[in-house]
Structure 1
C-alpha cells in the first residue's frame, strides 16, 4: 500500500546580490542545492539532470526517503529557471521554476514555485494523519533553503 501527498509552494524573496550573481547561483544546481537542508545526496545524471536523495526520516523499517529527479532549464535572458520531473526516478514527481528580476545593481527579486507529489509506502488510513506532517516538513525545508540563500550573499 502507498499514499500520495501533493504539495505546492510559492515563495518570494529579495536576494542581496546582482542579477548575474543570483542567476548564476540558482542555475548552478549543485551550488544551489548545497544550501538546501537534509539532502543526503545529489546525483548528476548528465544533461543538467539531477536526482535528489533526501535524508531518511523515521526509524528502521518505518523510515521513509524522498527521491526524485529533475531536468533543469536555465534561461538567463528571460530571468527564468525551470525544472521538470524525470519519469521513473524515485518516489517523487517535482516540477517548478524560479523567476528573477533585477532591483538595481545589488538586489534581485526572486519568485520560487514548486509542485511535488510524493508516493510513500504507508497504509492509506495514515494519509489524513501523515499528509499535514509531510507538508509541514517540506515547507520548513524550503523556508530554511530561502534563508540559506539570502545568507549565501
Structure 2
C-alpha cells in the first residue's frame, strides 16, 4: 500500500521484512526536515493482522502500528493504527515551533493515505 502513501521519496527493502521509508523534505527554505525511519513488518493471516515495529538506529523517527482486517456484513472492516516519534536536532526554541508542524504534517499524510486507499478500494472512513 506504500504507493498510496503521499510524499514518499524512496522505500528501501533492507531484507527480512524490514523497509526504510525516506520521506520528501518538508518545511520552509530556512528550516526543512526529511523524515527517515525503518520498520520491521510481520503478518498473521489467522489473526488478520499486519504489524510494524521500529528498527532502532535507522533514521530520525520511530514509527509503529498495525492493520487488522475482519469480515463485517459481507465486506471487509479494516482497523488502522499508527503512531510515531521524530527526533529533530534543533535548538529548543526552534523545536517548539517545528515539532508541532511535523506532527501536523504526519497526521495529514496519514489522513491522505486513508483517503487514497478508500478511493482505490472503496469504503468509508
TM-score surpassing 0.5? yes
Compared CA separation, residues 63 and 128, structure 1 to 2 (3 A): closer
Q: Could you tell me which residue of structure 2 aligns to residue 95 of structure 1?
A: 64
Q: Count how many residue pairs are aligned between Structure 1 and Structure 2.
A: 121
Kept in 1, the 8 Å contact 2:26–2:33? The answer is yes
**How far apart are the structure 2 equivalents of 1:120 and 1:87?**
15
Matched residue, 1:73: 42
Report the equivalent of 1:47.
Answer: 16
CA apart distance, 1:61: 6.3
After superposing the two structures, state which structure 1 stretch, 122-131 or 132-141, moved more: 122-131
What SS does structure 1 have at the residue aligned with 2:4? Answer: coil
Q: 2:101 and 2:32 mapped to 1: Cα distance?
A: 14
In 1, distance between residues paired with 2:100 and 2:29? 22
Q: Which residue of 2 aligns with 1:63?
A: 32
Q: Which residue of 2 aligns with 1:117?
A: 85
Q: Which residue of 1 aligns with 2:113?
A: 145
* Residue in 2 that maps onto 1:37: 6
Secondary structure of the structure 1 residue equivalent to 2:107: helix
Q: 1 or 2, which has the higher helix percentage?
A: 1
Given that 2:60 and 2:87 are in contact with CA atoms closer than 8 Å, whether structure 1 keeps it comes out as: yes
Deviation at 1:55, TM superposition (A): 0.1
**TM-score, normalised by the number of residues in structure 2:** 0.89
Taking structure 1 as the reference length, the TM-score comes to: 0.73
* SS of aligned partner of 1:77: coil
**Offset at residue 127 of structure 1 (A):** 2.5
The aligned counterpart of 1:129 is 97
* Structure 2 unaligned regions, length at least 5: none
RMSD over aligned Cα, in angstroms?
1.5
State the structure with bigger RCO (CA 8 A, min sep 6), 1 or 2: 1
